[in-house]
Chain A
């Protein structure tokens, strides 16, 4: 059974710092991996999607990497801003129609 773990569960960093969020999954047979952002009481915003054949994806200040063999992914946020405060969810798809989510990392950027 696929399980997704995110560490840390919560993180507070001063504005301007670079930071890394970690995600691990137990079954390396995945179709893709996604990182989402969720603001309190809101839905999900997809940030980056990495196909199983890819190693990383970049969008603006965000960079996500994927090491499928070791079951790990990281989300790197450069030059953090208070507006980055949210919960970040890692999710894997064992096939193209199913998504399994981690519990998320609650990020708080201190002004």
Chain B
């Protein structure tokens, strides 16, 4: 199988603090991981594409200095929400792309992290 984990599963923090969320591919290596954000009753919106060993690619409207992404190894990407504010409260989901030699690559999704900023 292909399993992706996220840590923590939920976090509550005070406004102005920074929060780090980890995304790990447990049984495969992923050169590319993706970070999504989902507001209540809304669709998942891609925030950025995380590439191992290089800078992340951010979607239009996502502040790269606020949402720091580090993909230092083939199994770990981290998203740091800096100086968090209540409007950053959301459900953050990562996915990892597993490369298949004989078929199309597949993205596997983590269980998500619920961030609440007070």
Which residue numbers of A lie inside 8 Å of B, CB to CB? 4, 31-32, 36, 41-46, 49, 51, 89, 91, 96-104
Contact = CB atoms under 8 A, between A and B. Distances in A.
B102 to A, nearest CB: 14
Contact of B41 (A32, A46, A96, A103): A103
Interface in B71-108: 91, 93, 95, 97, 104-108
Contacts of A31: 104
B52 to A, nearest CB: 14
A43 B32 contact: no
A43 B112 contact: yes
Contacts of A36: 109
Given A43-B93, A89-B44, A99 B111 contact: no
Most A CB contacts (10 A, CB to CB) among B49, B107, B112 go to B107
B31 to A, nearest CB: 11
A99 B112 contact: no
Contacts of A46: 106, 108-109
Interface residues of B, number: 24
Interface of B: 6, 32, 34, 41-46, 49, 91, 93, 95, 97, 104-112, 114
B43 A44 contact: no
A99 B42 contact: no
A104 B43 contact: yes
A51 B106 CA distance: 12
B43 A103 contact: yes
Contact of B110 (A43, A96, A102): A43
B109 A51 contact: no
A14 to B, nearest CB: 24
Contacts of B97: 97
